[in-house]
Amino acid sequence: MLGPLGVVYGDIGTSPIYAFREALVASSGGEVANRGDILGVQSLIIWSLTIIVTIKYIMFVLRADNRGEGGVLSLMALARNSFPTRSAVILGIGI
C-alpha cells in the first residue's frame, strides 16, 4: 500500500503517466480499472494540481510588494532590482 502512495506523490511532477497507472492499480486492487476508478484518479490529480498552483500563486505572487503594487509585474520589478547587472537575462527568463 505504501509503494503506490510514494510513487503517486513523489513522481507526479516528473512522470504523471506512471503515477496515473500506479494510482489506478492501487484503486482497483490489481483488477481491471473501471470508469469510476479512472475518473476518480483523474479528479484527484487535477484537483491536487489546481489547489497547489492556486496556493502557490496566493502565497508568492500576491504577496510580492513593490511600493504598494503587487502581482506579476511587481515580481519582475523586484527581480530587476535584485540583479541590476543582469536585468536583460532576468527579463529573458521571465518572458
Domain locations in the chain?
A: 1-48
Residue 49 is which amino acid?
L
Q: List Cβ<8 Å contacts ≥24 apart for 35-38.
A: none
pLDDT number for residue 42: 87
pTM of the model: 0.48
- Supply the pLDDT for residue 47: 87
**Each residue's pLDDT tens digit, 11-48:** 455 566 777 788 888 888 878 888 988 898 889 888 88
pLDDT digits (tens, 9 = 90+) for 24-34: 888 888 788 88
Q: What is the mean pLDDT of residues 50-58?
A: 81
Nearest CA among 63, 43, 45 for reference residue 55? 63
Q: Which residue has the higher pLDDT, 78 or 10?
A: 78
CA atoms within 13 A on the CB side of 68: 0
Q: For the chain, where are the alpha helices, taking DSSP H only?
A: 2-11, 16-28, 35-56, 72-82, 87-94
